[in-house]
A and B are shown apart, each in its own frame.
Chain A
Amino acid sequence: MSDAVKLSVRNLERVFGEGGSSVTALRDVNLEVRESEFVMIVGPSGCGKTTLINIIGGLDRQTSGEVLLDGKPIDGPGADRGMVFQGYSLFPWLTVRKNVEFGLRMKNVPPKEREEAAMRYIQLVGLEGFEDALPKQLSGGMKQRVAIARTLANEPEVLLMDEPFGALDAQTRVVMQELLAGIRRRTSATILFITHDIDEAVLLGDRVYVMSRRPGTVRDVLDVEIPGERGHNSLVLPEFLEVKKRIMDMLWKESSDAAMDR
């Protein structure tokens, strides 16, 4: 793993609305993602995590502060920052293969090359045999596999994931988490992943940023060092539980402070 900083967010602030009725969603957010690193952001509902990832993805604009990719400020959405959303967002009129090819088609990659790349990524997410299926024929987990393959086929510099497994049932979620951990080992992709699920954050992340309630800001950063391959077995390791407990304490203090304020 190299130490080069891939993505950095500096003093980011996002205020919705103006004047008296304005709401500060994010305040003074600072974070870094290094090359090939898997970084998690965990925080309670309403802490502005989705706002943050949308700003990084270029789908929303910050009020102040900056987002740098390879040292250059980002400008709007782009193929260099691939996103995977909770709601899959597949194109229902395209087959699995055509969905995966979409980004390459936008870049005018020749059809043959496009198809080869698509097949490679379809295999990577374990969907061989479903190339010609339509999204409506797939289960939620399979749809999210397509969405991941579609984003990876574009070979983004950073993969941004906004609670991608939030809509899946518990078993499917674990399968998808293991799949993602496996993909990450094989492709050394740089990933920034948002979740409200502490287990998920500790299970997948090299580092975990813990965010506070609104106005959202980074509360703490924890390194996660769990021996062996990450998988459902990691969930009971003492190293795992240790980090999990620290995050839980932090978030619990958060919510009790918030309750006191009321």
Chain B
Amino acid sequence: MSTLEYASSGSVGVIGKEAGLPETGMKIELNGPAAAGKTVNRKSGGEASGTQKRLLSLLCFALIIGFWCAASYGHWVQEVFLPTPTAVLSRIVSMAKDGSLFAHCRESIARVMVGWIWSVIVALPMGMLMANSKRFSAFVQPIIEFARYLPVVALVPLTLLYLGIAESQKYTIIFLGTFFQLVLMVCDTVSEVDSNMINAARTLGAGRFQVYKSVIFPAALPGLMDDFRLTIGWAWTYLVVAEMVAASNGLGFMILRSQRYLATDTIFAGLILIGLIGLVTDWIFRILSRIVAPWQERLGDRK
């Protein structure tokens, strides 16, 4: 078949996705021509139908809740350490009634969104540039690699010193927590765009900017959506860090304050809410991926 293989476009070596950080879900490599057999599916496990999968997921939740019921109603554990599901539910209802629940959620969601969106705004063009310019990559990559190993928690004292307890301090924590990861993920995703497709566009008369706009960006979009979905999850982690240190509202603050009053029912309510918001975010991103990239070849497309 084709003979000498060489990199005709200066693609940067692929940087592995963050080791040690959970990479959930599946990722199907884009645009692999069927001939090259590039369609890779990283999902493990055997075949299972949609309903089967859903039932299994529900079963897992049911088991945990069942265990929780047994442990709390059965008084295996003292109520001050493990509240009953009814206590947690009634706490959620009463907080919803007095409006504090909504206020805490709103604050937290706003903080996550602002911090994370800033991270996307900076990381997206930077990552794309890194993937396509060896010079720029050589310039910024070492510092990014260095910075992403700094635990964000270790940066909290500095952010407090510089920014006090203003909202900008929370945004900064979330930004620092997600940006350095995201920029490398974007670079990686963009590097994986099939160089043949870029070559085809160039021989069809596309200029450099047109290649970015009309080929690289759309081709990388499904992968970028995955990257966004993962980093917004981490953003929630860092939000709680930020809110536990210096805040007067938000779900993280609510959880921390409840600890002081031994209000475990409120702690549980906070945890459940954060989990639910996470699930909903994830679900929104999956739907969005389908909307922005309906062309993507997914597993199970061909029956």
Contact = CB atoms under 8 A, between A and B. Distances in A.
Nearest to A105: B214
Contacts of A150: 204
Interface string B71-98: 0000000000000000000000000000
B6 A60 contact: yes
A48 to B, nearest CB: 6
A257 to B, nearest CB: 18
A59 B35 contact: no
A45 interface: yes
A89 B8 contact: no
Interface stretch (B12-20, B103-111, B118-126, B191-199): B191-199
Interface in B216-257: 218-219, 221
How would you classify the secondary structure of chain A's contact residues: helix, strand, loop or mixed?
loop
A147 B6 CA distance: 22
Contacts of A49: 3
Interface in A86-129: 86-94, 102-103, 105-107
Contacts of B297: 92, 136
Given A91-B219, A92-B31, A51 B199 contact: no
A196 B31 CA distance: 26
B203 interface: yes
Interface residues of B, number: 36
Contact of A51 (B4, B36, B210, B293): B4
Contacts of A46: 3-4
Given A86-B1, A140-B34, A59 B194 contact: no
Interface residues of A, number: 51
A83 B3 contact: no
Tell which of A89, A103, A140, A162 has the most Cβ of chain B within 10 Å: A89
Contact of B197 (A51, A89, A106): A89
Contact of A54 (B8, B34, B219): B8
A110 to B, nearest CB: 16
Nearest to A153: B204
B301 A51 contact: no
Given A47-B3, A50-B4, 5 more contacts: A81-B203, A82-B203, A91-B219, A167-B1, A167-B35
6 contacts: A59-B202, A59-B203, A87-B35, A89-B33, A91-B219, A102-B204
Interface of B: 1-4, 6, 8-9, 30-31, 33-36, 194, 196-197, 199-207, 210, 214-215, 218-219, 221, 293, 295-297, 301
